[in-house]
Amino acid sequence: MDHRRRTGKVRGVLCFNCNSAIGTLGDDPGAVRRAAAYSEGNPWKPILVAPGVYQLPS
């Protein structure tokens, strides 16, 4: 049973691995998208915004 950690509201039923992954990623949709892109062979890269200053993609 998957639930929103803040409210306790049930969202649905997931397998153990998927539920654990979402929880490990902190229920952050951006983190889930980055993990999916990485597993598809599209690793994220920092963006150079000034010499020696990088911004991580959100």
- Number of structural domains (the chain) is 1
Mean per-residue pLDDT, 10-30: 90
pLDDT confidence of residue 58: 63
**Euclidean distance between CA atoms 4 and 11, whole angstroms:** 7
Considering the domain boundaries, does residue 27 fall inside one? yes
Of residues 19, 21, 18, the one with CA closest to residue 2: 19
Q: Is residue 10 part of a domain?
A: yes
Structural domain includes residue 24: yes
Sign of CA dihedral 43, 11, 6, 16: negative
Q: 3 falls in which pLDDT band (50, 70, 90)?
A: confident
Does 20 map to a domain?
Answer: yes
Could you tell me the residue range of the domain that residue 36 belongs to?
A: 2-44
pTM (predicted TM-score): 0.58
In a domain, 49, yes or no: no
In a domain, 57, yes or no: no
Domain annotation covers residue 50: no
